Amino acid sequence: MLTGHRLILPFALILATTAAALALRLPRLEQRPMHGDEAVHAIKFGVLLEEGFYRYDRFEYHGPTLNYLTLIPAWLSSARMLTEVSEWTLRIVPVFFGTLLVLLPVLLMDGLGKSAVIVASILTAISPAMAYYSRYYIQEMLLVCFTFGVIACAYRYTQSKKLGWALSIGIFLGLMHATKETCVIAWGAMLLAFALTFALRRKEENSHSFIASLKATNPWHVVAAVAVAGVVSAMFYSSFFANAKGVLDSILTYKTYLSRAGHNEVHIHPWHYYLNILAYFRIGNNSVWSEALILILAAVGFVVATRKKVFDGIDDHLLCFIAFYTFFMTAVYSIIPYKTPWNLISFLHGMILLAGVGAVAMMKTLSNKFVRIAVITLIIAGGVHLVWQAYLANYKYYENPANPYVYAHPLNDTFKMVRRVEAIAPAHPDGRNLYIQVICPDDDYWPLPWYLRSFTHIGWWNQVDANVPAAPLIIASPKVEPALMRKLYELPPPGQRHLYVPLFDTYTELRPRIELRGYVRKDLWDRFQESVISDQ
């Protein structure tokens, strides 16, 4: 165990790294348009904020921890209505847990070595994927943080056998399940990694090692941990005991996941999809993206983990467990056909832990001074490149498909559409009560419900309904334009037809190649133009 002054410098470095992580994650949280998934979660949170109740849906939305934890910054900002909630209020939640991941490796300092932990913390802070998805209002960063919490607390328990650490394991297990149903993948990887590590290391005499200590676990502590996990999970899924069916639904949801895993063609990708993103990604003449530094160092760390005897100061059982856990996580996520890029952070974090060990191992095994200097220089250069990519991902290419972590993301045109609607609304007698229709097949209008949340009279449609009167302002997909034109100009009898003019001045995309068109009634447009002239 590291004690006293020997911990001061490592902790100081990790705190400095945490500050750097915040610098990459915290500024301009409102700059990037809300992803459709973010907007869906935001609207779901609005129900909880305004009505004080959350009902788990086993078909969509994932677990409820994201929603309930968002209540904290909302209450701190005195928000009581969704219209009072900002992107900062929402995204500060993943920022917090993404930053916490930079700090948590200190719990493994006497298991992986202080140098490896410092490197792992730095790589967690500067990884473009970890930085980018720390600003995403979805469950992934919370799941990764809670998953690592289980591993870190399990290791601390092996070193102390204290009930508090066992209960902490249970809390994190419950939070994992209450965050996202795919936590079962991590649980399975943990069990397989434990079994394989035990099989390979069972003959080694080391009573203080990670696996040997787990073998000597107090059975009552296991019972306590499982009980706490069940209570924590049930509390969230039952909406704190207000919806008992939510607990059952959290189990029945796996039927949905099994059907979705291989049948949603939009998100079906080859097995090497994640590794391609991490190793090398480039579209046209845009910037090259790569986290190859982490992949290479992780590969070295994996080789070190499979050796019979690793370096002093490292628990070889713990390292072996992390190596196999990361391997199984990578393999399972690669095999599952259904893929979205944010899922890769679940195994990328394991790679980062291995990379910390890999970097230290290279320094210890390279005896030639000049070779060592060259390797250190390359690692530093690679680290600088990671920082630069993290900056580009968050502040320049934040909605650009040239960024590998951008996936089906709304473009900045979204802001242009919203600004035009907000500018025209005062010209109507009803103001923000103005009747608006948004018509997109398959409900493909997200994240507009988030950005138009202050408008109280909006109809959201997936097809044109000829029996409903046309609104003064319409936003629609070009796919429904023939039916819309017929509704506007052919069906109304003479004397009841209104002329509509384009709402947007230029071609406008919600997402790449997903155009939206706007139509505004001529009389409303004229009043808007008059107000513009009078304000000049």
Q: How far apart are CA 148 and CA 100, in angstroms?
A: 10
Which residue from 467, 465, 441, 438 is spatially nearest to 450, judged by alpha carbons? 438
Q: What is the pLDDT of residue 262?
A: 52
Please state whether beta strands 500-502 and 517-521 pair in parallel, antiparallel, or not at all (unpaired).
antiparallel
Sheet containing 473-476, strands listed edge to edge, beginning at the edge strand earlier in sequence: 458-461, 436-439, 473-476, 517-521, 500-502
The single residue listed with the structure tokens 């003479």 is 494
How many whole angstroms from its chain centre is CA 281?
20
Q: What is the pLDDT of residue 145?
A: 98
Please state whether beta strands 436-439 and 458-461 pair in parallel, antiparallel, or not at all (unpaired).
parallel
Which residue from 448, 447, 333, 521 is spatially nearest to 36, judged by alpha carbons? 447
- Tell me the β-bridge partners of 75: none
Which residue from 268, 267, 284 is spatially nearest to 397, judged by alpha carbons? 284
- Tell me the β-bridge partners of 528: none
Q: How far apart are CA 98 and CA 125, in angstroms?
A: 8
Q: How far apart are CA 395 and CA 262, in angstroms?
A: 34
Task: Decide: helix, strand or coil at residue 243.
Answer: coil
* 272: CB partners within 8 A, 6+ apart: 334
DSSP 465: -
Q: How far apart are CA 390 and CA 125, in angstroms?
A: 9
* 263: CB partners within 8 A, 6+ apart: none
DSSP 35: P
Encoding tokens for residue 490?
Answer: 């052919």
Q: How far apart are CA 91 and CA 97, in angstroms?
A: 10
**pTM (2 decimals)?**
0.93
Radius of gyration (Cα) for the chain, nearest Å?
26
Encoding tokens for residue 196?
Answer: 């394989």
Instruction: Write phi, then psi, for 461 (nearest 5 degrees).
Output: -130, 150
Q: What is the pLDDT along the chain (536 residues), one digit of tens a residue?
A: 455 556 688 888 999 999 999 999 999 999 999 999 999 999 999 999 999 988 888 777 789 999 999 999 999 999 999 999 999 999 999 999 999 999 999 999 999 999 999 999 999 999 999 999 999 999 999 999 999 999 999 999 998 899 999 999 999 999 999 999 999 999 999 999 999 998 887 766 555 566 666 666 788 999 999 999 999 999 999 999 888 898 888 888 887 766 655 556 778 899 999 999 999 999 988 889 999 999 999 999 999 998 867 777 788 899 999 999 999 999 999 999 999 999 999 999 999 999 999 999 998 888 788 999 999 999 999 999 999 999 999 999 999 999 999 999 999 999 999 999 999 999 999 999 999 999 999 999 999 999 999 999 999 999 999 999 999 999 999 999 999 999 999 888 887 889 999 999 999 999 999 999 999 999 999 999 988 887 76
Q: Do 112 and 7 meet the contact criterion of CB atoms below 8 Å apart? A: no
The single residue listed with the structure tokens 């209960």 is 167
